[in-house]
Structure 1
Amino acid sequence: MLVVLSFIFLKIMVPLFVLIGIGFVAQKAMKMDARTFARMTVYVLVPAVMFIKMYSAKVDLHFFATIILFVTVIQILMFIIGEISARMLGYSRSKRKAFSNALTFFNSGNYGLPLADLIFKSSPIAASVQVFIMMLQNTTGNTVGVLQASSANSSYRKALRHVFTMPSFYVLLLIIPINYFGISIPEPVLVPLKYLADGFIALALITLGVQLADIKCSYKINDVLLPCFIRLVVSPILGFLLTLLLGIKGELAQALIIGVSTPSAINTAILAREFNNEPDYAAKIVFYSTLLSGLSMSFVIYCLQFM
């Protein structure tokens, strides 16, 4: 077991963290515009990846419904666990919200998608799962997450409008009829999209490193061990149990579990900073859950081989 875990860590997680490290060091040294990196990923590369992977996978509505049900249940469970845990610890209202957001929203974009690509060797099904999880996370994060962090009802409309500015939403509307009717995409369109999709992994991970470098927090881990444990250990266990309950098997089940095992989303720290909702605490959860995920994800990947 130890040999296999070491192999997984060196083969999959180390390359992942090397690219994250490059982004982290480069940002500390050069002070680049992290927002530009993030916007390039979200508005250019992610839509290209989404189109190419879903076009190759030929996914159907049942596939989407399964992912929606799975992710929604996991998010509800993580939110409930977060609320109960924070109340038992006697946290203030604002800290409870930061705690719950960090558990409910996970980094399915510039962590889960590249990781799935490395694990499943560019499998269209696995990549499509991560892309769709990312879309759901963007939707709930920009609505429920904003409401949690801001506590202002007026933010709901603004957040909902933000969802409809995401190009991934329109790519989804486009790819469903293309798959359903079996429409072929001409090579002059498909080839540039493939080039963009090929560049996603490196830029997404470097962007994650750049974003982590911009997080301002005191480097103490003691007060974030519990949310990190719930995010990295409890969530994959719930994911595994839910696949059994729903009868989801094979590569789809593995990809879903990978998706909900990722560390806390960077956006939870960004929202906490924007609305002054325990920004230091939220940032520490994101930073340390990402750091510790190298170990937790290695174990999750090891366990998945027995499914």
Structure 2
Amino acid sequence: MLTRIVAILFPLFAITAAGFLVGRRMKPDLTHANRLNMDVFVPALVFAALANREFRITEYLPLLGATLAVVLASGGIAWLIARAIGVEAKTFVPPLMFNNCGNLGLPLAVLAFGELALMPAVVIFMVSNLLHFSFGAWLLDHRVRLLTIWRVPSVAATFAGLAVGLSGIAVWPPLLTAVKMLGDISIPLMLFALGVRLTDARITAIGLGVFAAVMRPLIGMVLAWGILQVVELPAQEQALLLVFGALPPAVLNYIFAERYRQEPEKVASLVLIGNLAAVLFLPLALALAL
């Protein structure tokens, strides 16, 4: 079991570490690469999975509901904790509510459970991504217009993929293959870019960062376990939901904090320490899930 867990996690951490080392030595500007990833490659990955003829969104409605419950309940608990410890909720809640289901979650799902796990993993990512760009943005700035969320490329790809899948339209296989090949670029690039971005993060609130690094996976796994006692899911989806609960804070939280000027250095500390702590918590989640 230990050997299997190491074999699953090593590629993820190796690529992230490579990005971190390159970031420290060469200080590359990945602004354009990250924009391409968010605007082209990730949307291609999402669309290819949702528009696949083998994908039936109705089969994943229980997983969709369970994921939604985990994300929203995590946010509610984080808000109560923030009130209790006297921390600004807008700083503390998003990193505990929105995890790294893109950079780490998608490649981890494929490595741990095989290619067939990509579709349910994309469903999980879809729910978290839609909530992050809508409710998450509104949480930081109530002036955000939620009706413009469809302009976000990954969100637009989600709607387009769902429309194609639900309508039963068969995408020309060579075209779908081309879109999938574009999507395949996103996963290693996300991991590498995560490593590079971690070199820019400044640790200014170590105590709060360590606390959040423990609470994020702990709350997520407990909620996932509790929901699984109520919602009946296939074995693979149960494992994916449990691992989803253990994922560290999304790097996007730091980007949003910068955009909306919500104590970005504190959020950077929460994200950095949380992702470092994933070395401890992801093996635990995999040991429980496998």
Which residue of structure 2 aligns with residue 97 of structure 1? 90
Output one character per residue of 1:229-267: Cα deviation in whole Å (capped at 9) or x when no partner.
121122112112212211123112222222232110112
Output one character per residue of 1:104-156: Cα deviation in whole Å (capped at 9) or x when no partner.
11111111111111111222xx2122223323323222232223334xx32x2
The offset of 1:44, in angstroms, is 1.8
Structure 2 vs 1, CA of residues 184 and 76 (structure 1 numbering), >3 Å: closer, same or farther? closer
Which residue of structure 2 aligns with residue 188 of structure 1? 174
Which residue of structure 2 aligns with residue 69 of structure 1? 65
Measured in 2, the distance between the counterparts of 1:73 and 1:257 equals 13
Which residue of structure 2 aligns with residue 290 of structure 1? 275
Tell me the secondary structure at the aligned position of residue 229 of structure 2.
helix
Which residue of structure 1 aligns with residue 39 of structure 2? 43
Structure 1 unaligned spans of 5+? none
The offset of 1:17, in angstroms, is 0.8
The two structures, once aligned, show a CA RMSD in angstroms of 2.3
Whether contact under 8 Å (1:232, 1:262) holds in the other structure is: yes
**What is the letter of the counterpart of residue 74 of structure 1?**
V
Structure 2 unaligned spans of 5+? none
Q: Does 1:134 align with 2:134?
A: no
Q: Does 1:53 align with 2:49?
A: yes
Which residue of structure 2 aligns with residue 79 of structure 1? 75
**What is the letter of the counterpart of residue 10 of structure 1?**
V
Which residue of structure 2 aligns with residue 149 of structure 1? 140
Q: Percent identity between the aligned chains?
A: 25
Whether contact under 8 Å (1:8, 1:298) holds in the other structure is: no
Whether contact under 8 Å (1:110, 1:204) holds in the other structure is: yes
Q: Does 1:263 align with 2:248?
A: yes
Measured in 1, the distance between the counterparts of 2:258 and 2:91 equals 10
Tell me how many residue pairs correspond in the alignment: 290
Written as runs of structure 1 = structure 2, the 5 A alignment for 1:162-201 is 163-180=149-166, 182-201=168-187
Report runs of 4+ in structure 1 exceeding 6 Å deviation: none
Tell me the TM-score normalised to structure 2 length: 0.90
* Among 88, 105, 109, the residue aligned to 2:102: 109
Whether contact under 8 Å (1:9, 1:294) holds in the other structure is: no
Which residue of structure 2 aligns with residue 31 of structure 1? 27
Whether contact under 8 Å (1:109, 1:130) holds in the other structure is: no
Structure 2 vs 1, CA of residues 28 and 121 (structure 1 numbering), >3 Å: closer, same or farther? same
Tell me the secondary structure at the aligned position of residue 265 of structure 1.
coil
Tell me the secondary structure at the aligned position of residue 199 of structure 2.
helix
Moved more, 22-31 or 238-247: 22-31
The offset of 1:21, in angstroms, is 1.1
The offset of 1:292, in angstroms, is 1.0
**What is the letter of the counterpart of residue 188 of structure 1?**
P
